[in-house]
Chain A
């Protein structure tokens, strides 16, 4: 257990050359084994080898009262998932709401570099940050509209895109009410948050959850009886984004405001 904690506290990027070589050689060996086991032409997928998707049901919880707008999650996501420039699988929004008049909302570069102070000229009485990502909706229009079934939901509740079948029509991008999808300029296919499926199926947290210094982002599992996030969902007042659209988001929010869409 102690070993695991130490591991997760390790910074993401700086690793020694020896460690890098060690890790990559074992990864190489691992992938060779997988390549030998799998029949030709089949793809290894991104889930862990002995992962059982019937034993999990993932949800996401965002506590906006904790977020400090540092943008670490946005950077971690980009590094972890090679998200192309100017595109976002996750981002953070800043709200500055005066007692009267219109709210000031921004998200410069998706908050990848955090937020600079701004002089809005408003007498701000209420201000907060809202991290956003794909809501992994249960009744999602993006899967509904995909003409070839390349957008799909895993049985453990994650909305994914199969880049080998996506035709790049962009219908799902138009259908998502949350702006969570984009067309990847390199692969020319739809791209979005995968809930770090390659990580959560190997017992790790998503990169954004892992890096968040204040615990504003949390991953929960409905099939885990002792899950703290599920306990919060059961006992506290949580909200989802744009509930009127009935997409049944699986990303839940604490401390949302009516200004947030």
Chain B
């Protein structure tokens, strides 16, 4: 059980206290932020090419946000005291921002979902009987006005909420980067670029997730995949992944060129402990390859067959989802693979399969939002407006 070590580590530094759960947490909130952005591109900025996805993206954001706190709760030594972060926060702690940011964003998202789906809720209530009718009437919160004026007001409120939601989504996720970036004790984390890197990679993962889910959903429903939607998402994805990769590389290159003290540790980390997850996954497999594939999609869009475009964006998106997961891993676990003595390393870290914070627990938590999404789709179909 004793990990393999090289060099000299402070004796308390051989443990990985921040486990797979802390990898999953920023991964999930990142997906939320990215998905929300796509829905806002339609609801706030009126990008018509995102219309097929506007509602679905919103539902995706909500379902993932619903479980974003779970990995944290599972990680806490005393989850029963977790609520204290929200009710008695210590405001010098960056982590104290969690309750405010999470709760307020959740409220905005719920409100926006309600306003977007309000007419659907009322229609369904009107068309059903018994328990179902009762359920949807309750969801409608006693308001049954579907006049054109009321719907116009809905759209106005939706736009405002979505507009408020953008900075809040950025804050919720930028805050996660801040948690790491603001720790001066850890040279692999401590950089002002960290929140920015987290934000851009969040956008990447969220858009990539939507590309995958949208294509799968359309296949399952036997509906056509909108060419414009895929083209537009590919463009945004390409933009954000270029920004994200640039930032990730900049951070490393600065350290390397400065020959800062930290570089001795970090260069070793990147070429040994993280060589696969950083170089192979984050930079090449999940970075360079999708960069090229998406480049082809974006630059040759006009000449491309729909099936090729769909396949290329699908493959790129899956690779980018992996890339962002690798990035979270490299930050969270990588930052604990060396001792603060700056002279010693832990050689490997393999999370256990069945441990409380193990692989199975992480997989289960990650599975829940997909189940929620299926339920959401059953209750409030997100693509109904396309069927008619």
Contacts and interface: CB of A to CB of B under 8 A. Distances in A.
Contacts of B12: 87-88, 173, 179-182
B93 A171 contact: yes
Contacts of B17: 170, 173-174, 182-183
Interface stretch (A35-43, A49-57, A139-147, A212-220): A139-147
Contact of A148 (B75, B81, B335, B341): B81
B85 A106 contact: no
A179 B77 contact: no
B294 to A, nearest CB: 35
A175 interface: yes
A257 B236 CA distance: 53
B295 to A, nearest CB: 38
A64 interface: no
A87 B185 CA distance: 20
Contacts of B341: 105, 179, 261
Contact of B15 (A146, A149, A171, A183): A183
A168 B78 contact: yes
A187 B81 CA distance: 13
Interface string A74-116: 0000000000001110010100000000000111011000000
Nearest to A151: B90
Interface in B245-292: none
Band of interface residues on B: 35 or more
Given A105-B341, A170-B18, A182-B15, A141 B78 contact: no
B8 interface: yes
A183 B12 CA distance: 9
B239 to A, nearest CB: 33
A167 B98 CA distance: 14
The prevalent SS among residues of A at the interface is loop
B286 to A, nearest CB: 26
Interface in A161-197: 165-171, 173-183, 187-189
A86 B11 CA distance: 8
Contacts of B340: 176-179, 261
A147 B339 contact: no
Interface in A118-164: 132, 141, 143-149
B163 interface: no
A173 B184 CA distance: 13
A34 interface: no
B88 A174 contact: no
Nearest to B72: A169
Contact of A147 (B96, B184, B336, B342): B96
Given A93-B8, A169-B75, A182-B15, A145 B184 contact: no
Nearest to B335: A174
A91 B9 CA distance: 12
Q: Top 8 A-B pairs ranked by shortest CB distance?
A: A168-B77, A188-B77, A179-B10, A147-B95, A177-B185, A149-B90, A105-B8, A170-B17
Interface of B: 7-13, 15, 17-18, 72, 75-79, 81-82, 84-85, 88-90, 92-96, 98, 179, 183-186, 335-336, 339-343
11 contacts: A88-B11, A105-B341, A107-B10, A141-B185, A147-B90, A166-B77, A170-B77, A178-B10, A179-B9, A179-B13, A179-B340
Interface of A: 86-88, 91, 93, 105-107, 109-110, 132, 141, 143-149, 165-171, 173-183, 187-189, 245, 261
Given A105-B7, A170-B17, 19 more contacts: A91-B10, A107-B11, A109-B11, A143-B92, A148-B88, A148-B90, A149-B90, A166-B78, A167-B78, A168-B76, A168-B78, A169-B95, A173-B12, A175-B183, A178-B10, A181-B12, A183-B15, A187-B77, A189-B77
